[in-house]
Structure formats: structure tokens, C-alpha cells
Amino acid sequence: MSSTSFEPRGDKQAVEEGLRFSPKFDTDGLIPAVALDATTKEPLMLAYMNAESLRLTLEKGEAVYWSRSRREIWHKGATSGHVQRVREIRTDCDQDAIVLYVEQIGAGACHTGRSGCFYRRIDGPDGSMSLTEDGRRFDPGAVYGKS
């Protein structure tokens, strides 16, 4: 679709030093996107975008992902109200990853009821984990209508 096309990718120099966005999508047509809280800089979530959702994100100024499980465009917060207002969007040297600095509307980004998805630290090679201080901020059942 022409509405979701981006610049064709040039050579290494153009990709790394140029100022035209030419994202590289993987073989599934996806690019990983990391949402960081624009204020606290805490990592909120890592999700994926296809060309259409990336274009919609740029147009709406709100994060729009591609749901790999539901195989559909996923306008984050469309049902819960917990939208992510995009304050800044960046790409990396080879333009195959996205960072979003967002204002998370509502109590949190994670479907488990927490502000972000990265609420557990791995303590060592034995695979034990512990919770960070990021406890539940909202009741997922009340927000999403399921427990």
C-alpha cells in the first residue's frame, strides 16, 4: 500500500548517517519498538510494528502496534483508554529498531496491571527472579473485563 510505504533503503552510509527514515522490517514485515516513559525513562514494553502501524503511529502521535497473537493492528489503549502519546520517536543506526518516548495515559502500560512490563529482575544464572518495586497500579479485570 502506498500509504504505508517508506523510503527505499540506500547504502550503509545513507542508512547510518542519512536523515531520511527507511526502516528495515524483518521477514515477517515487523520491526521491534521499545516504549520508554518520556518522564521517568523507565522501559514500559517491547512490541512490534508493521509498516501500517508504524505509519499510523507517526500520523496519530499515539503508539499503534501490530499484535502478533491476534494478527491485527493494535492501537494501544483503544479499549482500555491507556493510550501512549508519543513525545519522541527514534530509530537506530541500521534502522531496524524503534524507540518511542511516550506519555502513558492511565495507570499503566502492562496488561497485568503494572506501569510497565519489565517488573521482574533476573537474579542470576540459576534463573531465580525477584519483583522490582513496580507493583500493580490497576485491576486488569476492571479495565479489560477479564481477570
Query: Do the strands 84-91 and 72-75 form a parallel or antiparallel pair, or are they unpaired?
Result: unpaired
Query: Do the strands 98-104 and 31-37 form a parallel or antiparallel pair, or are they unpaired?
Result: parallel
Q: What angle do CA 1, 53, 29 make, to 5 degrees?
A: 70
Within 51-80, the residues that bind a copy of itself by CB under 8 A are: 55, 58-59
Nearer to a copy of itself, 79 or 112 (CB): 112
Binding site for Mg(2+): residue ranges? Answer: 92, 94, 96
Nearer to a copy of itself, 78 or 122 (CB): 122
Alpha carbons 137 and 130: distance in angstroms, whole number: 18
Within 107-146, the residues that bind a copy of itself by CB under 8 A are: 110-112, 114, 117-122, 124-125, 127-132
Q: With contacts defined by CB under 8 A, how many residues of the chain interact with a copy of itself?
A: 47
CA neighbor of 93 nearest in space, from 6, 21, 9, 17: 17
Nearer to a copy of itself, 40 or 79 (CB): 40
